[in-house]
Amino acid sequence: MIEFEPQARAERSSQAPPLAFLDTAVIHDYLRHKPTAVRLFRAESDGRISFAINPIVLQELLLTLDTAAKPEFNRIVDRLRLLPIDFAKAEALAAEASAGARGHAARTGLEEAVGALQ
């Protein structure tokens, strides 16, 4: 459960609220009226936090049949900050993760083979 401590009004107005990246599942939870997600969006409405999504999340939301038709979605979509995708960084991270996974798989396979021989 996410709990927010209220900030003083003067403090809130002098600094930008923290920015949280949302995944599709969080927005779907809000649209399904799940209490934790509703509280999170209430904090956004109160100005205690702001939300961002990337084009992939937006596409997933728009392609979900019931999402775009919900009035709740129309109320929040304009308040979501759309972040760009950094393809160069994504490719570098994917290559790094792939190399790490291959190394882990090779070590795991070797460890299993050695264990089977003992």
- Over residues 46-96, the pLDDT tens digits come to 999 999 999 999 999 888 867 878 888 888 888 899 998 888 888 888 888
At which residue do the structure tokens 């937006």 appear?
58
* Residue-level pLDDT at 77: 85
- Over residues 4-58, the pLDDT tens digits come to 344 444 455 568 999 999 999 999 999 999 999 999 999 999 999 999 999 999 9
Instruction: List strands edge to edge, sheet with 50-53.
Output: 19-21, 50-53, 81-82
Task: Write down the domain spans for the chain.
Answer: 1-85, 86-118
* pTM, full prediction: 0.61
Question: Which sign, positive or negative, has the C-alpha torsion 31, 35, 39, 45?
Answer: positive
Q: How far apart are CA 82 and CA 89, in angstroms?
A: 18
Residue pair 27/21 in contact by the 8 Å Cβ criterion: no
